[in-house]
Amino acid sequence: MSKIKPSQGVPYARIMGVGGYRPTRVVPNEVILETIDSSDEWIRSRSGIATRHWASDEETVAAMSVEASGKAIADAGITPSQIGAVIVSTVSHFKQTPAIATEIAHRIGAGKPAAFDISAGCAGFGYGLTLAKGMIVEGSAQYVLVIGVERLSDLTDLNDRATAFLFGDGAGAVIVGPSKVPAIGPTVWGSEGDKSETIKQTVAWDTFHAERPEKFPAITQEGQAVFRWAVFEMAKVAQQALDAAGIAPEDLDVFIPHQANMRIIDSMVKTLKLPEHVTVARDVETTGNTSAASIPLAMERLLATGQAKSGDTALVIGFGAGLVYAATVVTLP
Catalytic residues: 122, 258, 289
Other CB atoms within a 10 A radius of the CB of residue 231 amount to 18
In the chain, the amino acid numbered 60 is T
> For the chain, how far is it from start to end, CA to CA, in angstroms?
41
What totals of helices (H) and strands (E) does the chain contain, helices first? 10, 14
Residue 296: strand pairing partners? none
Strands (E), 228-312: 254-257, 279-280
Phi-psi group of 139: left, alpha or beta (phi > 0 → left; psi -120 to 50 → alpha; rest → beta): left
For residue 304, the 8-state DSSP code is: H
For residue 193, the 8-state DSSP code is: G
Cβ neighbors of 312 (< 8 A, separation 6 or more) are 253, 254, 279, 331, 332
Q: HSE on the CB side for 192, CA within 13 Å?
A: 16
φ, ψ at 329 (rounded to 5°): -105, 130
Q: How far apart are CA 134 and CA 111, in angstroms?
A: 21
- CB 286 within 8 Å of CB 86: no
For residue 261, the 8-state DSSP code is: -
